[in-house]
Amino acid sequence: MEGIVGAKLLHGSSEVETSKALQGGVVALYFSAHWCPPCQGYTPQLKKVYERAKREGKLFDVIFVSSDRDEASFRQYFASMPWHAVPFSDRAKEQALKMIYQVRGIPSVVLLDGATGSLVDANGRGKVMEPGFVASLPTTQDLALAKLPSPEGPVPVTIYHHGREYEIECEPDEGYEMLRMQIFSVTDIPAEQQRLFGLGQAKGVLNEQVPLPRALVRAMAAQKNTGYKVAGVPKEARKASSNEFPEEQWHAAGGVLTSDPGWGWVHKSKDDNPWYQMDLQEVRKVAGVVLRAGADHVAWVKKFRVCTATTEEGPWDAVDAGREFSGLSGLMLPEVRAIFESPVETRFVRIECLPGGLDRRSLRADVLLADDKDQDKPPTIVVLGNFSADDPFENMEAAQDNAQTKMIEEQHLAMLQAKLSNAQPRLQNQVNSLQGVQRYESRALQKQALAEIPVLGIDESARSSSESYELAFMRGLLRWYKHDFFSWCNAPKCEHCSSGNTKTVGATQPTREEQYFLAGNVEVAQCNLCGLQTRFPRYNDPGKLLETRTGRCGEWANCFTLLCRALGYEARHVHDWTDHVWTEIFSDSLKRWVHADSCEAALDAPLMYEKASVLGKGWGKKLTYVIAFARDHVIDVSRRYTQKFDDLLPRRTEFSEQELQRVLGAISEFSTDRSLVQVPEATASQRRAALERRAKEEQDQLLGRSQEAKEVKAEEQVGRTSGDAEWRSQRGELGATAAAKEKALELSETGLEGSSAPSSAAKAEPEKAPASRDPQAAAKQRFAELVASGLSPNEAALQVIQEAKKAAAEFKPPQRP
């Protein structure tokens, strides 16, 4: 690269050597200037891509090549950039680069191979803005692992599929095709339907462009030091500098690695030197510590030191001369094992949190013992197939556009338009919503979505749940999405000074680039500190939302529904005509569609929105029409979201019920026909039969719900938790009752997943039945009986748990005298 950009570059106000400054991945030459209005709009967007790449450990460098008219302008402009620049004084270099890469306008981006300097893309301005660009970049680990030797002989691999565990032996030289055949032999998932995750790759579908021997090397490196045993320090042997939650509350167990559902220790916000301490009860040989994220907090310990002592009074010695360990990077990501350079004999182990992140940080932790090390765990692969047995589309390649397909679709659309010609405009416009759900079927877009999801962590969480795997996985997905992926935007942060003190002051038209990503309108916010304005495009392209990761309920539901489809769930995008949007997924275990609101981290809580005459305790909305759009059908699901449909009916005055059903039926028929154009006839017939069967079952369920009194769940008695409190109140969604409003404000950070958490009252010890035998032994015996009867281990365990819960509910303690 020195031969291209010169031996020296600028970074901030300092001059650095090019050979040491660049990482060797992908290098972007950014031709831009302060006086250029399009450049001023593009630079903040490029900055977001660059910062995201750095955050994810990607090897991506940017070099600013200035077209400014003087050095003062260059300095002012470069001060807003986090990357390198060609020195402004080297005008000859700027002209030479423009000539070599034929740069005729700005802003312009040229992508180069950082190792060889070869051209990757001379017109990279649009490419770097594509949602999949960051995921395509190499990492430091990729370069380091390339230097390690390939494994010799078969490698044991653990396969996880829908909560079950299998063991296979993988021959590195036989490649991915044979690996998929082996996975089929144990899971019955055909090779073409397998979505594979793991082998040391933290996120994303397994990249099969990496040769299998290299992937196995990476996987074995990821499992290094997993043979150390966890000490299992009990709750009473843990102590901290401070605790955000009182000891008597249920968070008191926070920090225990094996606690369920994994509530973390959180220190107080005014604790300037937070630490978390574990007592081994005796002097042991310690190899290191292990950290996991807590499920109930949005910030984690990102950097830490470890100190040890043989007595609590000290002296405390910093491990490895005060070495700074890298901590947690997100929810549902792999645990962090910090291994010391050499084992330490100690009794007390203290984790000292170092500055970084938010003012309150969380962790779960334990100690790794060095005196009894097992073999490291084998590499792992998580296999996802299709969550719905009736869905033939999941792993079929997307139909290629061709003249015949387009002609057939145009014919179907012409017939639909004829059927709807006399319908009211708002009903006719429902056809447009089909375009949105159709985007979710793009295989390229689904691959980009899967690159963001920590499937391994969500799978581990789902495997330890008593729920069905599909629902437990969805619950983990909702938790990760709300706390670690998407963010709510009342008004955007200032792109000039990064202040959050901004206020929306108006709207403007989208630029051509914003229109490309389906931004229908753009809000404008003004910073109360620097006075400058920031644009907030309301993107409707779910791929773009994978990059921006922010918005309100429209953006939240749009992006989340794409993630559901990418993972293999059948999903619907649900439109509430009183201004809200959410998702539904089909559950094979429940044999029905299940409500999933990503803004609220809510699963199967359909009555949370309404304010009914008697029972309504949720948001306080007065629903009218709730329409669900899937790729191959459309349906009115309003009855699912109301306690009394007869009370809702008088508000549905825009058109007759018969007209609504006629139009939705026509649109649904069109969507079914369009989706089956290139599907084999036998498969199409099976799908039509499944849709008809489901439609009848759903109609019976919805009518049955309308005629029965519906039990209101705890999470359905809470007002809206997402968004600014004042905004929620103005919309009338903060809560239907004072209690619902209070709970909504309390759960503003966690969403509804915290609404069913045990309260402090639940900590009281219940009366115990006189046991005639050891309950644990009885449970083990019952488990063995059920497995012997033919149930799988998972099914047997679930039944044992259900029987125990039923017995506990029916138990009546003896009355006190």
Catalytic site positions = 553, 580, 597
Residues 523, 529, 535: CA angle, nearest 5 degrees = 20
Cβ neighbours for 659, distance < 8 A, ≥ 6 positions apart = 423, 424, 427
Q: Residue 441: is it exposed, middle or buried by C-beta count within 10 angstroms (0-12/13-18/19+)? A: middle
Q: CA 607, CA 589: separation in Å to the nearest integer?
A: 21
Total Cβ atoms within 10 A of residue 376:
14
Distances from the Cα of 290 to the Cα of 307, 364, 507, angstroms: 14, 8, 49
CA distance 649 to 639: 10
Query: How do beta strands 60-66 and 26-32 pair?
Result: parallel
E strands of 566-718, at which residues? Answer: 571-576, 580-587, 592-597, 602-603, 626-629, 634-636
The pair of three-digit structure tokens given for residue 259, joined into one six-digit string: 């606690």
Distance CA 736, CA 752 (A): 16
Q: What is the DSSP string of 262-287?
A: -PPEE--TT-SS-EEEEEEEEEEEEE
Longest CA–CA separation in the chain, Å: 98
Query: What's the CA angle centered on 316, arms 312 and 318, to 5 degrees?
Result: 145
Give the C-alpha separation, 526 to 517, whole Å. Answer: 23
- Single out the residue of 799, 763, 772, 761 nearest to residue 783, CA to CA: 799
Q: Which of 561, 560, 559 is nearest to 541 (CA)?
A: 559
* HEC string for 737-763: CHHHHHHHHHCCCCHHHHCCCCCHHHH
User: Do residues 110 and 79 make contact, with C-beta atoms less than 8 angstroms apart?
Assistant: no
3-state secondary structure of 366: strand
Can you say how many angstroms the Cα of residue 784 is from the centroid of all Cα atoms in its chain?
37
What 534-541 contacts at long range (C-beta under 8 Å, 24+ apart), as own/partner pairs, is 534/492, 534/493, 534/494, 534/495, 534/496, 534/502, 535/41, 535/492, 535/508, 536/489, 536/491, 536/492, 536/504, 537/510, 539/514, 540/436, 541/439, 541/517
Q: Which residue has the tokens 């692969």?
A: 381
